[in-house]
Amino acid sequence: MTPDRARGAGPAGERVISRFAPSTTGQAHPGTLLSALLVWLDARSRGGVAILRLEDLDITRTRAEWATDLIDACRWLGLSWDAVLVQSDRRASHEAALDALAAAGRLYPCACSRAARAGGRRAPDGSWAYENTCRGRALPAGGWRDATDAIRARLDDDRIALVDAGGLDLSQTPARDMGDPVVRRRDGVIAYQLAVVVDDFDEQITDVIRGRDIAPSTATQVMLQRLLGLPTPRYRHHFLLLEPGAGKLAKLHGSIPFSELRSRHSGAALCGLLAHAAGLAATTAPCAPGELVAGFDWRRVPTADRVARWTEHGAVGCCADGRRGARPPKNHRRLRQPREVCAEQGLPILVTVAAADPIRSRSPTTSRVDVGGPSMGS
């Protein structure tokens, strides 16, 4: 990492264009908004452009009201975007990329089920790796559009050596480690790995900032960029906000949805909590995103995932890097277990208390909306 990169500046003369790209498959939750805030701050602190891209291609899971919800949630937090783009508007560009891959002889149909891979080899993202079993199969005479199976892209078997801007090693041999990616699903949906690469190029994205859960996909995306002759943007993967007891990724296990957040906090209050969790504010005092721009520096942002714990009164706690922190006010009698241990680092939890209604006692974590959370950006 160059000194310039450490300060967050792009190469001389280059305009930073960054995007926050949640999938519209659930309400926004604190982890979603953390990602939005970090993307926005990074762009604004470098005089760059910040785009909101709504990833709505998965017709089996997306809902129009969740797209609206994400826009509203960002506005409520205090974030303004230079453009709001909808991924499903870009079908023609995605199809052109499939045509280019087909012309290069890279596409093949695959009918292998997920169940058939179970018990095989683990991929870096925890899924079952695909063994490129169908590489020898040809597309139908009418091309990929006539295929009734899923379509995969045959990657080069080369190793991708890549370290992101935060020092995270993303190196992989994606064709072997993950297997050739699906680029068009069996149901006709353009697959994430292809759409994200095409859109990042078309939108001239210079910086891809997203949660660490997406990091194992990066080498596959870089390989697809190479096959399509596209440049590789800078990548940075930030820490995740997890929930204790909710498994590895809180966002998949019913984090507090935006409707619940909005009923308990102001946008400024949540911004203060997120800024504190991200190392950008000494306290959890309410603030606006714009107030954080001048002091924004990735060196202040923790690299390890943090546990956010929502109490019965809507308070949130987060790992405190070993320091004891603020205690909850005395009127929060039912606050349970003010200290917990972060599973990843064994650190005590700092319980910081949000501006929540002390009369309501229903725990947000037990009144979750069972929708699954949206991705924290891709």
Residues 76-115 that bind Zn ion (CB under 5 A): 110, 112
Least separation in angstroms between residue 111's CB and Zn ion is 6
Residue 133 found at the interface with Zn ion (CB under 5 A): yes
Q: Which is nearer to Zn ion, 130 or 296 (CB)?
A: 130
Residue 134 found at the interface with Zn ion (CB under 5 A): yes
Q: Which is nearer to Zn ion, 39 or 110 (CB)?
A: 110
Q: Nearest to residue 223, comparing CAs of 202, 203, 194, 201?
A: 194
Least separation in angstroms between residue 142's CB and Zn ion is 20
Cβ–Cβ under 8 Å, residues 183 and 192: no
The count of residues interacting with Zn ion (CB under 5 A) is 4
Least separation in angstroms between residue 187's CB and Zn ion is 16
Instruction: Determine the Cα–Cα distance for residues 33 and 48; give it in Å rounded to an integer.
Output: 19
Q: Which is nearer to Zn ion, 134 or 320 (CB)?
A: 134
The phi, psi pair for 237, rounded to 5°, reads -120, 120
Q: Which is nearer to Zn ion, 43 or 110 (CB)?
A: 110
Least separation in angstroms between residue 110's CB and Zn ion is 3
Question: Using CB under 5 A, which of the segments 89-97, 100-108, 128-136, 237-245 binds Zn ion?
Answer: 128-136
**Cα three-residue angle 62-66-71, rounded to 5 degrees:** 130
Least separation in angstroms between residue 223's CB and Zn ion is 18
Helix 192-202 vs helix 91-103: angle between axes, to the nearest 10 degrees?
110
Question: Using CB under 5 A, which of the segments 84-92, 94-102, 130-138, 238-246 binds Zn ion?
Answer: 130-138
Least separation in angstroms between residue 30's CB and Zn ion is 38
Residue 128 found at the interface with Zn ion (CB under 5 A): no
Q: Which is nearer to Zn ion, 112 or 293 (CB)?
A: 112
Instruction: Determine the Cα–Cα distance for residues 125 and 123; give it in Å rounded to an integer.
Output: 5
Return the sign of the alpha-carbon dihedral for residues 42, 43, 45, 46: positive
**H or E element, residue 52:** strand 49-54
Secondary structure class of 134 (helix, strand, coil): coil
Least separation in angstroms between residue 139's CB and Zn ion is 13
Least separation in angstroms between residue 189's CB and Zn ion is 18
Q: Which is nearer to Zn ion, 110 or 240 (CB)?
A: 110
Token pair for residue 200? Answer: 């990042």
Residue 178 found at the interface with Zn ion (CB under 5 A): no
Q: Is 372 exposed, middle or buried (0-12, 13-18, 19+ CB in 10 A)?
A: middle
Q: Is 2 exposed, middle or buried (0-12, 13-18, 19+ CB in 10 A)?
A: exposed
The phi, psi pair for 260, rounded to 5°, reads -75, -40
Question: Using CB under 5 A, which of the segments 125-133, 173-181, 224-232, 303-311 binds Zn ion?
Answer: 125-133
Secondary structure class of 85 (helix, strand, coil): strand
Q: Which residues bind Zn ion (CB under 5 A)?
A: 110, 112, 133-134
